[in-house]
Structure 1
Amino acid sequence: MKAAIYKTYGSPKVIQVIDTEIPTPKPNEVLIKIKASSSTRADTMMRQGSPKFRRLFLGFFKPKNTSLGTGFSGVIEFIGDEVSKFNIGDAVFGEKLFSNGCNADYICIAEDMIVEHKPITISHQEAAPICDGFLTSYNFLKDIANIKKGQHILVNGASGSLGTAAVQLAKLMGAKVTGVCSTKNVNFVKSIGADEVIDYKNEDFTNSQNKYDIIYDSVGTLNFKDCENVLTNKGIFMTPVLSFGTLWHSIINSKKVKFAATGLKKTEELKQLFKELVSLFKDEKLHTNIDKAYKLSEIKLAHEYLETGRKVGNIVIINQ
């Protein structure tokens, strides 16, 4: 089978698509033929090994985990003897973290991990990036912010994977949503449900008179100190993107600044959030926006596009 890996930090040129053995599922695992997988900004940052302090966790001189991709969607081709939830031929999707990457032809995953039947209302391409965008943003909105009906949330990076998910989820949860994006994406962000949209190229929201209950910096480009004056008294600033500044402020001002790595939550907690999202997708209350799709053999091009910062929604890798 084919699989994308990187053995050293660097540009997209370090990515290799190699031939390797199809994995053999353990008794509690299923073997999935991947139809589509995610390719994200987080993948590019790990491949770059940036910011460099992250290499303390990723591998100082070279990456510990050389695989790419965490979100997947595909069809089960084989099940272990202990598997009871799934059958051969089932269409499934989910996320596999800290292990064999999903930018590959096949993966094995235990049936009690983050994997569920794919709703017939969405395609494999639409399903593959759900855990990267929607699961992360749902965790922040529901479990970290405890967002309530009527609250006002500002979503920075509202046209990206995490941002488009946050806009839709926050509206569904009854909040007023202000999205921040570039000029070319203003109409798109309005179309997915934002009540107001700020074009950051023409307006600085930190200088406005508006106050927000929640600021969700989905792309990690904001500084808490710059945003503090536009937060309500009990308002919070939260981001999934780790930086020294965010880490420091989350320590000294933990009630106001929230950072979290969703993938480090307990599996049972993630599964519960994921199941809730699956239900919402079944009911067609949420949708995935796909910007571009690349073949696995073109994954270097996918990473090059991700690094331009022009992505709208999600990038997916498709298998033949």
Structure 2
Amino acid sequence: MKAIVYTEYGSPDVLELKELEKPVPKENEVLIKVHAVSANAGDWHLLRGTPFLLRFVYGILKPKNQVLGSDVAGRVEAVGSSVTQFQVGDEVFGDLSGYGFGGYAEYVCAHENTFAPKPDNVSFEEAAAIPAAAVTALQGLRDKGHIQKGQKVLINGASGGVGTFAVQIAKSFGAEVTGVCSTGKMDLVRSIGADHVIDYTQEDFTRNKERYDLILAANGYHPILDYKRALSSKGTYVMTGGSNAQMFQAMLLGPWISMLGSKKMGNLLVRPNQKDLVFLKGLVEAGKINPVIDRRYPLREVPEAIRYLEEGHARGKVVITVE
């Protein structure tokens, strides 16, 4: 099979299209013929080995897993002897990040619990756009943010992969949603259901008079005390992405701020799981969320896809089609 491989940390230039042996499923695994895989920020972090702490998990001097790619959609080609949930021919989607990655390839094996049935009303490309970004948005809003109907929710980075799902998921919970993005992406954010849109190049939402019950920071940067100022008296701030400074402030200062006052602030540790994929499948099939895809690339152009994603200007998701 063909796969995009890297044997050293570096820029997208170290990625190579190579022939690898087609994997064989273990007793509790399914073999997936990959039809599409989406690119995530985690791909270029793992590719470059940054921040350095990642290397203690994924390889100090060189990567343990040589094929990146977590979000896949495809058909079951073979099943292990103990598999009970799927059979050959089933259309599935899933997140491989907890099972060694490997999505940038024509075939991949993973535990059956890694996958869920693909939503019937979307393509393989759209299904591949869902797992990591949508689960991050869902867990940030529902599990960490405890979103409630009628709350005022702000999504910073509303036009990106996580942000476009967060806007739609927050609306599905009955929230009043404000999306923050750049000038050229305001129409997109309105089109996916945001009640209000703020152009961050013209207005700093942390300095106006509006206060929010829940802020999900999916991108961009503001000091954590600025986010605190923008919260209502018992509001919650959840960091799911953005700059390294934003991440470390949420991890180190967030717990202290939470203990000393009524506002809750912290970061989200995403836990991929089948149950949330099934929940999101239901939202997609009900028409409550629709994946937003910016660009599509063939497998051989994964380096270009990651290079584009790393620039930070994608509208929604970047997807790789596997012929």
TM interval, short-chain normalised: over 0.9
In the TM superposition, residue 276 of structure 1 has moved relative to its aligned partner by 1.1
Alignment partner, residue 303 of structure 1: 306
Alignment partner, residue 257 of structure 2: 253
1:25-76 CA deviation, whole Å, 9 max, x = no partner? 1122211100001111221122122233443444333333332111100011
**Which of the numbers 291, 316, 320 marks the counterpart of 1:288?**
291
Alignment partner, residue 182 of structure 2: 182
Alignment partner, residue 262 of structure 1: 270
CA distance in 1, matches of 2:195, 2:101: 40
CA distance in 2, matches of 1:207, 1:285: 32
CA distance in 2, matches of 1:276, 1:53: 32
Q: 1:225 to 1:63 in 2, by over 3 A?
A: farther
Structure 2 regions of 5+ residues with no counterpart? none
Structure 1 window deviating more from structure 2 (122-131 vs 61-70): it is 61-70
1:162-215 CA deviation, whole Å, 9 max, x = no partner? 000000000110111110001000011001000110111111111100001111
**Poorly superposed stretches of 4+, deviation over 6 Å:** none
CA distance in 1, matches of 2:101, 2:82: 21
**Equivalent pairs, count:** 314
With the length of structure 2 as denominator, give the TM-score of the two structures. Answer: 0.93
Alignment partner, residue 274 of structure 1: 277
Q: How does 1:1-320 map to 2 (within 5 A)?
A: 1-98=1-98, 99-111=100-112, 113-219=113-219, 221-241=221-241, 243-254=247-258, 256-263=264-271, 270-320=273-323
CA distance in 2, matches of 1:229, 1:80: 53
Q: 1:5 to 1:312 in 2, by over 3 A?
A: same
Structure 1 window deviating more from structure 2 (49-58 vs 84-93): it is 49-58
In the TM superposition, residue 307 of structure 1 has moved relative to its aligned partner by 1.8
Equivalent pair of 1:211/1:230 in contact (CA under 8 Å): yes
With the length of structure 1 as denominator, give the TM-score of the two structures. Answer: 0.93
Percent pairwise identity: 39
Equivalent pair of 2:33/2:108 in contact (CA under 8 Å): yes
SS for the counterpart of 1:280 is helix
Equivalent pair of 2:129/2:293 in contact (CA under 8 Å): no
CA distance in 2, matches of 1:311, 1:72: 19
SS for the counterpart of 2:131 is helix
Root-mean-square deviation (CA, aligned residues, Å) is 1.6
Q: 1:28 to 1:51 in 2, by over 3 A?
A: closer
Q: 1:245 to 1:63 in 2, by over 3 A?
A: farther
Equivalent pair of 1:220/1:240 in contact (CA under 8 Å): no
